Amino acid sequence: VKLYATVRSVRRMLGRLPQFIDNAPIGTGDGTTVKFYFNTRYLIDGNGDGIIDGDDVTIYSDDTSVAIDHINAEKGYVVLGTAPQSETAITADFFKSDLPDWEIEEEIKNFSKLIEDKTGNTFAYDGLYTQIWDGSGEEKDFFFDRYPVYEIVSYDIDGDTSLVEDTDYYLYPKSDKALYITFETPPLKDNKNVSITYRYGESNEKVNRWVRLNVVSNMFRFIAMKSGNTGIYVSPQNTSPIITPDRAVSLRNQLREEIRELELQLSGMIRVEILDA
């Protein structure tokens, strides 16, 4: 089954993009230990390339980066290539979230399969395009030649491929139909130093959005179940309103209204029932 949403697009709609943790202590070297646990259950793909690797996690021994053998994202630990020396401080830069990637991925697979089963159709992706700009050293805003853009696939900004969305760069409008990107720091003045590969188009956007909305709706249910009576914040920076169980139900109802509207627009192709809580 093809997937008609990405983890990052769902996180963006939820307001739950990964939180970057800088220089967090994870242990002390003893000359023999190579496995170190993070102070979080879930490590997250921070740059949106679909894998969790050295672009998302950096380990330091006394402030010097060290080689990583492998990362267990679900259990939250890293295995180093060589045991750090005794009494060295082991720290890490990484991305985390209380909502694991695998839960979102499973929902995306379920709803992508559902829409294909209900319609008997496998929908092609919209266009994939790489756009290159010259940096001016001053300009922060870069407009897409092809739009609307609903997913950034990869980028290279002044040689940096690990920028963080909603920290280092922002998509506008704040939806899954972006027209331009703006950077926190202007790219350097250089030739062809800003390169972005993105997915764009309208042809299957209603199908893509139907999947995303259903996944987000279910995620609100998970959030409510996890938060109990106290609620949790919708943003990793803990600056957004708390999502209580009642608020999650209200948000799900709003989403279901849009889902119904989409199904009416797709009525000649799709017959799907809304999944109740």
pLDDT tens digits along 104-116: 999 999 998 888 7
Tokens of 229: 């009576």
**Domain segments of the chain as ranges:** 19-96, 101-119+204-265, 127-200
Widest pairwise Cα distance in the chain: 68
User: What global pTM score does this model have?
Assistant: 0.62
In the predicted model, what is the mean pLDDT of the chain?
82
pLDDT digits (tens, 9 = 90+) for 73-91: 878 899 999 999 999 999 9
More confident residue, 86 or 173: 86
Query: Of all helices (H) and strands (E), which one includes residue 106?
Result: helix 101-119
Residue count of the chain: 277
Task: State residue 223's pLDDT score.
Answer: 67
The amino acid that residue 130 corresponds to is T
**pLDDT of 35 over the 90 cut:** yes
pLDDT value for 96: 85
3-state secondary structure of 251: helix
Higher-pLDDT residue of 87 and 4 is: 87
Cis check for the bond before 25: say yes or no (omega within 30 of 0): no
CA angle 236, 20, 23 (to 5 degrees): 130
Note the pLDDT tens digit of each residue in 204-236: 777 888 898 999 888 877 766 665 544 444 444
